[in-house]
């Protein structure tokens, strides 16, 4: 379809998603359903049942103003491109009027959603498009792969840049990670929020304009996405300091003197390194050292970062090599 259709008046609250008709609620499952808690293997559903449940969840999300598309069990757009084998230049983003253009198909129109799901009977989940009105959704994807402690990293970034992390809609992923939903200002006039992977810290990805989040209630090969309990029912506004970080086209400008940088970020960087779990010690040290150099504090913080890295069990030789790599960068 050429132009996504969207509701102009979002409902007032993010209510719990409906259960599929065949779902049996269990204690501890915040959404009910036929699957285990996040991180556990899903109980098998018939393909038709999983498809019907995904459609029900997608329609519920669309009723609250979120534009959606069907997804496969591997979290990819489920409707196949009509241009397979004949890619255009520039690529078509739905101007041809046919479905199969990924996030560009996203819509809140119930009939349009049913048509998309009818074109992809293998769909078992749905994606929520980011950056679209009325919510202008921004997703913070906090991953736990390879031992990443992305939630702690985000907290240290917030402390270093002096912005709060408001309670907001949180979706728990099957791998043990989480998605934080925030609302942003319209773009334009505000800067467009781009998608990024690991730019803020290892394990922190940003989903902005042109991206999508896997919606709660979706079933993937790894399990089911569910809303975290006891969290707000609608997204909180993104803090201004966070918006500055995720929209900046380049690294923060280096100040003329180290004294221009307040001391709080330095302590946050040292604590960030000292709390590194096994498997993330080098990555955290490198990231912290890079931030220190960007702030003009590289030489001043090297000894403290080295000591913090040694406290985690990293050898002095490894730590010095990592600090040298950060300095060269």
For residue 91, pLDDT beyond 70 = yes
- The mean predicted confidence, pLDDT, of the chain is 80
Least confident of 111-115, 223-227, 278-282, 291-295: 291-295
Separation CA 311–CA 321 (nearest Å): 16
Separation CA 5–CA 7 (nearest Å): 7
When pLDDT is cut at 50, 70 and 90, the band that residue 45 belongs to is low
Are 170 and 235 within 8 A, CB to CB? no
For residue 220, pLDDT beyond 50 = yes
Which of helix, strand or coil describes residue 85?
coil
Would you state the pLDDT for residue 322?
Answer: 86
Cβ-proximal residues to 141 (8 Å cutoff; 6+ apart), any chain: 177, 179, 204, 205, 206, 207, 213
- SS3 track for 159-216: HHHCCCCCCCCEEECCCCCEEEEEECCCCCCCCCCCCEECCCCCCEEEECCCCEEECC
254 DSSP assignment: P
Separation CA 41–CA 255 (nearest Å): 50
Q: pLDDT for 9-25, tens place per residue?
A: 443 344 444 333 333 33
């Amino acid at each position: 379809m050429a132009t996504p259709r969207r509701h102009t008046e979002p409902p007032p609250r993010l209510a719990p998603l409906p259960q599929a008709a065949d779902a049996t609620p269990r204690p501890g499952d915040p959404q009910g359903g036929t699957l285990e808690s996040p991180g556990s293997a899903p109980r098998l559903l018939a393909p038709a049942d999983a498809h019907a449940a995904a459609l029900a969840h997608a329609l519920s999300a669309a009723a609250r103003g979120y534009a959606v598309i069907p997804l496969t069990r591997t979290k990819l757009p489920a409707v196949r491109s009509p241009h397979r084998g004949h890619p255009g230049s520039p690529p078509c983003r739905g101007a041809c009027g046919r479905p199969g253009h990924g996030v560009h198909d996203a819509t809140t129109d119930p009939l349009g959603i049913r048509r998309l799901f009818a074109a992809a009977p293998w769909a078992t989940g749905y994606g929520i498009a980011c950056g679209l009105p009325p919510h202008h959704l921004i997703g913070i994807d906090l991953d736990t792969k390879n031992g990443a402690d992305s939630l702690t990293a985000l907290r240290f970034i917030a402390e270093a840049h002096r912005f709060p992390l408001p309670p907001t809609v949180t979706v728990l992923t099957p791998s043990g990670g989480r998605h934080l939903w925030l609302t942003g200002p319209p773009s334009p006039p505000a800067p467009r929020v781009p998608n990024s992977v690991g730019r803020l810290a290892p394990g922190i990805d940003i989903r902005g304009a042109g991206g999508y989040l896997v919606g709660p209630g979706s079933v993937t090969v790894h399990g089911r996405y569910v809303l975290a309990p006891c969290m707000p029912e609608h997204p909180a506004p993104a803090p201004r300091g966070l918006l500055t970080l995720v929209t900046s086209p380049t690294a923060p400008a280096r100040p003329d003197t180290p004294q221009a940088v307040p001391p709080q970020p330095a302590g946050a960087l040292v604590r960030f390194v000292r709390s590194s779990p096994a498997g993330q010690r080098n990555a955290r040290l490198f990231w912290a050292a890079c931030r220190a150099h960007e702030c003009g504090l590289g030489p001043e913080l090297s000894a403290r970062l080295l000591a913090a890295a040694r406290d985690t069990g990293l050898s002095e030789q490894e730590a010095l090599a990592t600090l040298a790599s950060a300095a060269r960068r």
